[in-house]
């Protein structure tokens, strides 16, 4: 049966291309979990999953892990879901706070790409810093408050993600993300008001920031 798992998608693209890739999922909530599952369904077989929370009932409706996983650690629950799709998947679970994890740089450096799916700014800055330091590509996604929209951008070493004079930190990109408080807007670059449209929802103004020319994703 295992030999037939990818029979339907094999004609669409070469799943072997990604066979040696290792993906580090930082944050195993609804976003990180969904990305991990889609990658597993596309042929990725080597994952590192990092999160330090348990799955709660209020998480389930949006999460790839169902009710039977409530109370389990998110990394363990997600690992089980991935292996259920493909038993050959290799998973390293990190049930830890990444802000206090001494091995973060090594974990990032050993990965082909990092999916940054945490839900707080300090961890995003820390992982951003580690990826720039180790020269590891990463992809970031976030949803705006109340789901009125969102954004995704990628960092590729040598192609952007931080200003040329500040590559060791690379946090300039974060200053371009939408902000939700006027205090943060004043502290950052001059905001530009744009309209964000989502099907089925009214258009809403969102305070955003211009990308410096050398920071565009």
pLDDT digits (tens, 9 = 90+) for 8-58: 888 888 888 888 999 999 999 999 999 999 999 999 999 999 999 999 999
How much is the mean pLDDT over the chain? 78
Q: Which of 131, 150, 133, 203 is nearest to 30 (CA)?
A: 150
> Residue 205's pLDDT is what?
37
Q: Which of 98, 53, 91, 100 is nearest to 73 (CA)?
A: 53
pLDDT digits (tens, 9 = 90+) for 99-134: 999 999 999 999 999 999 998 889 999 999 999 999
Return the number of other C-beta atoms located less than 10 Å from residue 94's C-beta. 20
Q: Which of 156, 155, 142, 127 is nearest to 26 (CA)?
A: 127
**What are the tokens at 174?**
């974060």
Burial profile 192-201: b = 16 or more Cβ within 10 angstroms, e = fewer: eeeebeeeee
pLDDT digits (tens, 9 = 90+) for 54-90: 999 999 999 999 999 999 999 999 999 999 999 999 9
Q: Which domains does the chain have, with CATH numbers?
A: 2-143 (3.40.50.720)
Could you tell me which residues are beta bridge partners of residue 105? none
Residue 214 pLDDT more than 90? Answer: no
> Residue 171's pLDDT is what?
39
pLDDT digits (tens, 9 = 90+) for 159-211: 765 422 234 334 334 333 333 332 333 333 333 333 333 344 443 333 333 33
């Amino acid at each position: 049966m295992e030999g037939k798992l990818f029979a339907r998608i094999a004609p669409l693209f070469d799943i072997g291309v990604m066979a040696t890739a290792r993906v580090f999922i930082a944050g195993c909530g609804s976003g990180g979990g969904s990305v991990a599952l889609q990658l597993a369904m596309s042929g990725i077989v080597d994952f590192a999953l990092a999160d330090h929370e348990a799955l709660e009932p209020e998480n389930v409706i949006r999460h790839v892990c169902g009710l039977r996983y409530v109370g389990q650690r998110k990394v363990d629950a997600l690992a089980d879901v991935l292996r259920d799709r493909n038993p050959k998947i290799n998973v390293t679970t990190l049930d830890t706070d990444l802000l206090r994890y001494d091995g973060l740089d090594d974990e990032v450096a050993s990965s082909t790409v990092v999916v940054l799916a945490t839900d707080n700014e300090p961890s995003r800055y820390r992982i951003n810093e580690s990826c720039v330091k180790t020269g590891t590509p990463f992809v970031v996604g976030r949803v705006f408050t109340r789901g009125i929209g969102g954004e995704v951008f990628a960092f590729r070493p040598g192609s952007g993600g931080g200003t040329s004079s500040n590559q060791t930190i690379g946090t300039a990109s974060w200053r371009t993300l939408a902000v939700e408080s006027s205090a943060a807007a004043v502290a950052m670059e001059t905001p530009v008001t744009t309209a964000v449209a989502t099907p089925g929802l009214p258009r809403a103004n969102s305070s955003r920031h211009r990308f410096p020319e050398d920071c565009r994703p």
